[in-house]
């Protein structure tokens, strides 16, 4: 079902942290993906250049690694596509309500000890736990 990859996970987390620190150091901005995407939609943010570079790198890096090493992670989604689409829309609504996503609140906000981000991240995690419980134990899983 899932792989236990502590070294890869730790390396990925370190790279995410490094990217967040560098973005804050060089641009004074928080690495929240939803905020980056929002600034790339009309009306465009004046500082859209770094947003394109950051998101482009987030897409290009795994493609480059796959091209160089030939390694591709296995992705299996036993959930029907309709449920994935509905889930994505619900997440989008949650991101708007929380004024940010787990990358901005969970990675950057919590490291700054932002009470608002800590509460938002706790809400994300609690809601995720409830959702998994309901889907697996009440609806019988998908």
Is 137 a residue whose pLDDT tops 60? yes
How many other C-beta atoms lie within 10 A of the C-beta of residue 24? Answer: 15
Q: For residue range 2-54, what is the model confidence (pLDDT) as tens digits?
A: 678 899 889 988 998 999 999 999 999 888 888 888 888 888 889 889 999 99
How confident is the model at residue 2, as a pLDDT? 63
Q: Look at residues 14, 25, 142, 136 and name the one whose alpha carbon lies nearest to residue 77.
A: 142
* Residue whose structure tokens are 């409830």: 130
Measured in Å, how far apart are the chain's first and last C-alpha atoms? 14
How confident is the model at residue 88, as a pLDDT? 87
How confident is the model at residue 14, as a pLDDT? 92
Segment (H or E) for 98 = helix 81-98
Q: For residue range 74-119, what is the model confidence (pLDDT) as tens digits?
A: 778 778 889 889 988 888 888 888 888 878 888 888 888 999 999 9
Report the predicted TM-score, pTM, of the whole model to 2 decimal places: 0.72
């Amino acid at each position: 079902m899932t792989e236990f990859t502590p070294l890869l996970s730790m390396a990925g987390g370190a790279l995410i942290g490094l990217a967040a620190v560098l973005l804050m150091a060089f641009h004074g901005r928080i690495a929240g993906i939803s905020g980056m995407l929002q600034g790339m939609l009309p009306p465009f943010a004046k500082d859209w250049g770094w947003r394109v570079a950051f998101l482009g790198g987030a897409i290009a890096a795994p493609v480059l690694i796959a091209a160089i090493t030939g390694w591709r992670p296995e992705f299996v989604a036993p959930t029907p596509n309709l449920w994935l689409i509905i889930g994505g829309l619900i997440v989008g609504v949650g991101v708007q309500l929380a004024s940010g996503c787990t990358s901005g609140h969970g990675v950057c906000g919590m490291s700054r000890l932002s009470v608002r981000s800590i509460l938002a991240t706790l809400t994300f995690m609690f809601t995720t736990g409830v959702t998994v419980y309901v889907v697996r134990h009440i609806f019988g899983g998908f």
